Amino acid sequence: MSSSTDFTQRNHVLMSTRPEAQSFIAERLETRAIAAGDMLFDHGDPIHHAIFPQSGVISMLSHSEGGKSVEQVSIGNEGFLGFTYLMGGSSVPARAMVQVPGHASWLSITHLDEAMQRFQCVRAALLRYSKALIIQLMETIACNGLHSAEQRVASWLLLADRRMQGHTFVLTQDGLGRALGLRRATVSNICSDLQRAAAITYSRGHLSVTDRNRLRAHSCSCHDRIEAGMMIPGVQDNLLS
């Protein structure tokens, strides 16, 4: 693991706290690269650390006995992993797997507790994101039951593009298929259709959203509600006590 001083802070939960809280936490973070397919938590693991993505996308996956998986919720640099700890939980409710590679920062629960006790703004920021995550989870459940595979893929890509700030990112069709409970062939056909519609470019696992409006036309109404809930205030809004 590398020092947190090796990168620029990009996690919006941490950036929305007061400067003194950010400094306290930054001294205690451990940051490293995360690769596609990395399992950061497995279902039932004890929560020893909270994880704050700096870039990339992480899926919280539910697995069936037959080996199939489906994404419950996805998390980028707008959030953190370990939110159930705030609700009194001691273990992880789902598998956390990296879908889009990037970087993430680990903070021990001991240091998280200390930060919440010393800085009210830390607890407030964590709880605010946890509420947004619950809304995203509820929208995802509805989306999985009501909308087409193409709409779900388009919505997922729009969120990933927002999290990656419009940059080209690495994404495998196998990984996206596992996240959305779709066959790889289905994901491949949808990506081809979206590319022909000039909404994305996709080559050898590298994807770019070339026209968000065109991609949005293929997505579902859930997307706007989820994205609106993700928009956590940044450094300029450090007004918490």
DSSP code string of 86-101: GGT--B-SSEEEEEEE
Look-up: residue for tokens 């998280």? 112
pLDDT recorded at residue 240: 37
Nearest alpha carbon to residue 108 among 128, 82, 131? 82
Look-up: residue for tokens 């370990």? 82
pLDDT recorded at residue 231: 55
Find how far residue 8's CA is from the centre of its chain: 18
- In the chain the domains, ranked by start, together with CATH numbers, are 2-119 (2.60.120.10), 144-227 (1.10.10.10)
Nearest alpha carbon to residue 105 among 232, 233, 2, 238? 2
Dist. CA 14–CA 47, nearest whole Å: 19
pLDDT recorded at residue 140: 79
**Which amino acid is present at 170?**
V
Which residue positions in the chain have pLDDT lower than 70?
A: 1-7, 65-67, 229-241
pLDDT recorded at residue 142: 78
Dist. CA 36–CA 99, nearest whole Å: 5
**Number of Cβ within a 10 Å radius of residue 42:** 14
